[in-house]
Amino acid sequence: MKTKQMQPSRLVLALLAAGAIGGAGATALTGGVSMAADAPAVAPATQAISTSSPPNFAQITRDFGPAVVNISVSGTRKVSAAESDDPLAQFFGQIPGSRGRAPDREVPMRGEGSGFIVSQDGIILTNAHVVQDAKEVTVKMTDRREYKAKVLGADPQTDVAVIKIEAKNLPVVKAGDVNKLQVGEWVLAIGSPYGLENTATAGIVSAKGRSLPDDTSVPFIQTDVAVNPGNSGGPLFNDRGEVVGINSQIYSRTGGFQGLSFSIPIDLAYKIKDQIIEHGKVQHARLGVTVQEVNQDLANSFKLDSPSGALVSSVEKGSAAEKAGLQPGDVVRKIDGKTIVSSGDLASTITMAAPGEKIKLDVWRAGAQKDLVATLGGAPKDKTQASADGQEVRPGQLGLALRPLSPQEQQSSGSEGLLIERSAGPSAKAGIQPGDVLLSLNGVPVHNIGEVKEALSKAGKTVALLVQRGEDKIFVPVQVG
């Protein structure tokens, strides 16, 4: 029997409203390790580890709990025939006795999350996925006051959203310094898990700068704080009562907490907030490379002293990387003096930068170190926009980010289609994955974005995509949004 792999689970509270997520339990084990009386000391007394009691979480909760809010959202979402509660429609896509495909219909959507007030005039930070598709947002304070909130902006790439309520002299949180946060430090989360408002849970920082195997490039703070659906968007405090992160994701087999939770660093969140408030939108920097991990075999092949860095597998035409002189086969070891241990480190470092910013790259090429300087470009406005030639496939259609295959990729895949860099919306729901190669749409071969758009213009509400995944080619039906 195969063991089910642990999958990343966003704390999407529509699942809670639908009763789709069960509760999570935990058992605490306490105890100590004793040493035999005649056992030698393991270290000199001068190297003994000092002990201290946990921070005063009660005081932190009293002081800053009032700045943590419960967020309720309502709206509608489109549901296809395959999602309807009619069992035959799920299999055949139509209602018995009707002709053709059953039309999509809108159904009510409700959810809950958390947030925290960062200014006395009502600016609140939360997660983008908490307010996604929301028509109405209600903020509830700890003193039971309720306000209607306006979504000022949301950035799906970092999962940060800014909302505002019309109020004055509100309690606010203090922002901490993420750079001073250390692994092993105590942290406290306050939020509304499963709708239970003003719940406080505590733990320690498990890791910093953690990259996750999804479509984000956020250098997450990993903790063992009990975070569940409803904690999304709530604050993560350090032991001095300063906010160091926004609780965003968990790893789970069940949908509930299992000891791995992830928070967006507050310095990144504030950068997003400032852009949304000032410009009404967010611009992300872009280097324009595809990278992969460096394992021991690759390190040996490239004569690296350790299996670390980000191996450049392709460089986009006209990108900042190409202009800086980056080449496939380069290994990026440092950016502005910061060591790049894994490929995720490169993505998160670029995320923290701004378009137009210059960065210094320490690159390993052909057995020697080389310095390059790149002026970062701007990323597409939406994650589903993409292509090296600046064209796009709208998210309302397929939800795909596409680009032409490089000569090396064409040779490797043996095909001449389009590489799927990101998959969202209808395509992600249908099972299309980043790394797949799009070969045809409704039987029409596609080699560029223009051909995809033309084929889409002649398609109905469902299109058949022929994709190559590894050595396999499969048709995947996608219901166009």
Query: Is 129 one of the catalytic residues?
Result: yes
pTM to 2 decimal places: 0.64
Which pLDDT score, from 0 to 100, does residue 95 have? 40
Compute the average pLDDT of residues 200-207: 96
48 or 211: which leads in pLDDT:
211
Catalytic annotation, pick one of 206, 217, 232, 263: 232
Which pLDDT score, from 0 to 100, does residue 344 have? 82
User: Mind listing the domains of the chain with CATH numbers?
Assistant: 7-14+55-282 (2.40.10.120), 285-378 (2.30.42.10), 400-479 (2.30.42.10)
Q: How far is CA 256 from CA 52, 216, 480, in A?
A: 31, 21, 32
Query: pLDDT tens, 85-138?
Result: 544 343 333 444 444 445 566 778 788 999 999 999 999 999 999 998 899 999
3-state SS, residue 250: strand
Q: How far is CA 459 from CA 423, 443, 450, in A?
A: 19, 11, 14
Which pLDDT score, from 0 to 100, does residue 461 have? 73
Which pLDDT score, from 0 to 100, does residue 104 have? 61
* Phi, psi for residue 474 in degrees, rounded to 5: -140, 150
Spell out the long-range contacts of 27-32 with Cβ–Cβ below 8 A and sequence spacing 24 or more: none
Query: pLDDT tens, 253-312?
Result: 777 778 899 999 999 999 999 999 998 888 889 999 888 888 888 888 888 899 999 998
Catalytic annotation, pick one of 159, 239, 345, 362: 159
Residue type, 129: H
Query: pLDDT tens, 39-90?
Result: 344 444 445 555 567 789 999 999 999 999 999 998 877 665 554 454 434 3
Catalytic annotation, pick one of 114, 129, 284, 440: 129
Compute the average pLDDT of residues 182-203: 94
